[in-house]
Structure 1
Amino acid sequence: MQFKVTEAAFEGFRLIRREPRTIAIWAVFSLAASAALMAAMIASGFGRFMGASTQGSMRPEALTGFLVGELIAIGGAVLIASIMGAAVYRAILRPAEAPLTRLRLGGDELRLVLLSVIMGVVFTGLTIALAIPVGILGVAIGVGANLGQGGAEPNAGAMVGIVLVVLLGYLLVIAGLVFFAVRLSLAGVMTFAERRLRVFESWRLTKGRFWRLLGCYGLAVVLMLPIYMVMMTLYFAITFAFSGGDVGRAMGEIAQPDMTSVAAYFSPARVIYLLLAGAMGGVLNAVMYAPAAVVYREIAETRPESQAEVFS
């Protein structure tokens, strides 16, 4: 059974229209979870590391705070994403469950957390595996150009050629990662729907559907971009206003906010931005997670049960 690209990509907006109260609750959850996560990061000492690195005075405790803050950030982001992803999947695949909020913290969410950790390891390995040949190729071309010049520095034309070849190589690395990401993109919704960890089973289910899936996800990204751009434009406008009309100060605040303390981070401009981001958060999560759920719902009947055929 095949799926319709546009219907899957627009499912998030249909969900928003069907369940506006749920989306509003998601917005509140997104705001509260994001604020709590940032407060925990800052309290861990993450901001002290940023300040020390800027001043050039690094201490062991600052590095420890940074590492703890990074773990909190990654772990918290994965947990929030798993809760929100499961909520969207639940709204589409199990509409009778938790009809008011769709939010839970149970086996479904914990399996998605575990899947995220595994996928992180998998894609880290894939990135290294794909980047190594590109690096070797770049070194080999550089050495060859150097030898061709009799040991002298390569001329400008040779340098441009080396840069272009390496750039092409890294574009191929990105293309390879996109290919694997699309082929494994149904792992999350499969793990949720089947109530067991499904890591590579998505490979078989997406066979022969790569381009349709890429088009579906690409369209969903295009639909999310205006929302994100409006949010960032408003954020800049608010920061610009609170900075007294100083563009440089506003850009600095956005690029590197003061994280030395919770009070310093939650400035009036950032509080307003977080309120806007929270309001947008429910919408963005619906648009982001809904396509995979619809695709799975439409094509799951064709999934082979033989685990031996996963990579065929």
Structure 2
Amino acid sequence: MGEYQVLGVFRVAKRFSAASAAVSGWALIGRRPLSVVVWSAVILLGLFLPALLLFLPIIDPFVEMVRAMPQTPNAQDPEMTARIMAMQGQLSLMNIGMMAVQVVAPTIVTAAAFRVVLRPQEQRGFFLRVGATEGWMMLVTLVLTFGGNIAIFAAMVPGALLGLIGFVVMAIGGDTEAGAVVGVVVGVIGVIVGELALLWAFLRLSMALPMTFAERRFMLFESWALTKGQSLRLLGMLLLVGLTLLVVQIVVGGVVIAAAALVAPGLAKTLPAARSVAEVLRLIWPVLAVALPLAAILQAVVQVVCVTPLASVYRSLKPADEAQEAA
């Protein structure tokens, strides 16, 4: 029956409350604060610290390479070319590692948040698991990430082409200045239309992760059928989530600025004397020891606020047979 419930002989499209879904993440945090703290530890140990360890080894070689660059670079300098190639290799390896850490820990936390909503009986271990379900969700995340990057570029191409065509047509008519204006206007409109189409596609595919979690298998385009007729509600939910996060961002930004004003003067006196990453870490480790755990908690909160509404919406839209099974 897909996205419909049967009431007598009538098929009535399922609906959900955008407002209720938008605040479901905050409600989860209120009900399970200790779980969110544990999830933030997963973010700290599985995302922040590995990212830091991946980034640190390339800082000193990069600084040395920059210092060794002559004021007038010689394209034929074999030593500098070798250094640049070596640095590119290190950056490529770092990017691959970053791609892994950016997917693994956040997906585990996302699955835990989904579990609170869709399988509340699985509360052992603060709802955390590492298994096939999380693996399928990681695959969906990678597909959506790569596909999204390609789609963002593709959404801009038609607008750019339309702008170029508009410029050429006006230029042929002899009005180059007007052609430039028309080209820019048409191009901007084309890009906006493309981005709106991309947003619509994202909304239609937004149930891919909760569906994959619920079904324990790869699901992507199945979301398209489930979200039919729900785009405006999904958009409203997205805007409400963004509004709540904007308030949090303003508050956190004020706290960060105040903390930086207290710490920055001291660091400004000591950091210029550092000559290596090790010396910098020795000087700033007290700041990192406080900032990284707090940043991990904030990251976990933001992630829960963003992903929990997806599970809440799926719970409202899922087919009747799944609803009966869950009950």
Q: Common fold, TM-score beyond 0.5?
A: yes
Which residue of the partner structure matches residue 171 of structure 1?
Answer: 192
Q: How does 1:45-124 map to 2 (within 5 A)?
A: 45=58, 48-49=61-62, 52=65, 59-124=84-149
Distance 1:285 1:265, change over 3 A: farther
- Percent of residue pairs bearing the same amino acid type: 26
Q: Secondary structure at the residue paired with 2:124? A: coil
- Structure 2: tracts of 5 or more residues without a match: 1-13, 70-79, 323-327
Which residue of the partner structure matches residue 212 of structure 2?
Answer: 191
Q: Aligned AA for 1:36?
A: L
TM-score by structure 1 length? 0.82
Choose 54-63 or 112-121, whichever is displaced more. 54-63
Could you tell me which of 1, 12, 17 is aligned with 2:30?
Answer: 17
Q: Matched residues in 2 for 1:102 and 1:187: separation?
A: 20
Which residue of the partner structure matches residue 240 of structure 1?
Answer: 261
Distance 1:174 1:121, change over 3 A: same
Shift in Å, 1:72: 1.4
Choose 48-57 or 170-179, whichever is displaced more. 48-57
**Which of these two proteins has the greater Rg computed from alpha carbons?**
2
Q: How does 1:106-145 map to 2 (within 5 A)?
A: 106-145=131-170
Could you tell me which of 206, 213, 223 is aligned with 2:234?
Answer: 213
The answer on whether the counterparts of 1:239 and 1:270 sit within 8 Å (CA) in structure 2 is no
Shift in Å, 1:50: 7.6
Q: Aligned AA for 2:108?
A: I
Choose 27-36 or 290-299, whichever is displaced more. 27-36
RMSD across aligned positions (CA):
2.9
1:236-278: CA deviation from partner (whole Å, max 9, x where unpaired): 33333322199xx8xxx9xxxx9x7376368344543323212
Q: Secondary structure at the residue paired with 1:40? A: helix
Distance 1:166 1:61, change over 3 A: same
Aligned residues: 290
Distance 1:52 1:175, change over 3 A: farther
Could you tell me which of 3, 15, 19 is aligned with 1:6?
Answer: 19
Distance 1:95 1:303, change over 3 A: closer
Which residue of the partner structure matches residue 4 of structure 2?
Answer: none
Q: Aligned AA for 1:137?
A: L
Shift in Å, 1:110: 0.8
Q: Aligned AA for 2:109?
A: M
Which residue of the partner structure matches residue 280 of structure 1?
Answer: 298
Shift in Å, 1:97: 1.5
The answer on whether the counterparts of 2:204 and 2:227 sit within 8 Å (CA) in structure 1 is yes
- Structure 1: tracts of 5 or more residues without a match: 305-312
Which residue of the partner structure matches residue 47 of structure 2?
Answer: 34
Q: Matched residues in 2 for 1:218 and 1:114: separation?
A: 27
Distance 1:175 1:50, change over 3 A: farther
The answer on whether the counterparts of 2:155 and 2:194 sit within 8 Å (CA) in structure 1 is yes
Q: Secondary structure at the residue paired with 1:244? A: helix
Q: Aligned AA for 2:104?
A: L
- 2:292 is the counterpart of 1:292: no
Distance 1:65 1:15, change over 3 A: same
